[in-house]
Amino acid sequence: MAVIEDIPVEDLGILIHQAGYVEARLSRRLYQPPIKVWNALTEPERLVEWLAPGSIGAHIGGRARLDFVDSGIVIDSPVSDYQSLRVLEYSWSSPGEPHRLVRWEITPEVEETTLTLTLRIPAGEDVARSCAGWEAHLEMLAAALEGVPIKFPFERFKATREAYRARLA
């Protein structure tokens, strides 16, 4: 097994270079039913456990509003795809910023759920930092789903950021 900066390569997302952006696909097998995963992605009281305080409008055209109080970042974008219990898509951007797609897809398995997160990161932005941030939040999501929410895992963030940087080099 290949390892970059203490992170197994197969634990990293898939990066696809496109015209004007990089698409990243991060997948996790979660040992929870799809409804529990969906609720964590869409319910305000669950979002705060692993992402940020906020709300997600439960329809196309609804608003994805997230307030990262510690960093001062506020996300406010329309929901561009919504298929209950299957797909949630919005932009990780505020008005006036470049479009940064965030697409969550849930695939039910026998006694678990596969969650795939697709990101589109504009060219010229720090792809490694974006992917590492989402890797950390996915770890927080998995812990919250198990009933043991954790704080932002900075060590995981730093290790995956370096691993993605090495992969992009």
pLDDT at 169: 79
The domains of the chain are located at: 8-125
- Compute the average pLDDT of residues 28-35: 95
Q: How far is CA 137 from CA 60, 70, 111, in A?
A: 24, 15, 23
Across the beta sheet with 87-91, the strand order is 14-18, 21-30, 113-122, 101-108, 87-91, 73-83, 63-68, 54-56
Banded pLDDT at 80 (limits 50, 70, 90) = very high
pLDDT at 11: 75
Q: What is the pLDDT of residues 100-131, one digit of tens each?
A: 999 999 999 888 999 999 999 998 999 999 99
Strands (DSSP E) along 11-147, which ranges?
14-18, 21-30, 54-56, 63-68, 73-83, 87-91, 101-108, 113-122
pLDDT at 24: 96
- Compute the average pLDDT of residues 78-107: 94
Of residues 163 and 96, the one with the higher pLDDT is 163
Q: What is the pLDDT of residues 36-77, one digit of tens each?
A: 999 999 999 999 999 999 999 999 999 999 998 888 888 999
Banded pLDDT at 3 (limits 50, 70, 90) = very low
Please state which CATH class domain 8-125 belongs to: alpha beta
Q: Which residue has the tokens 């705060």?
A: 48
pLDDT at 10: 59
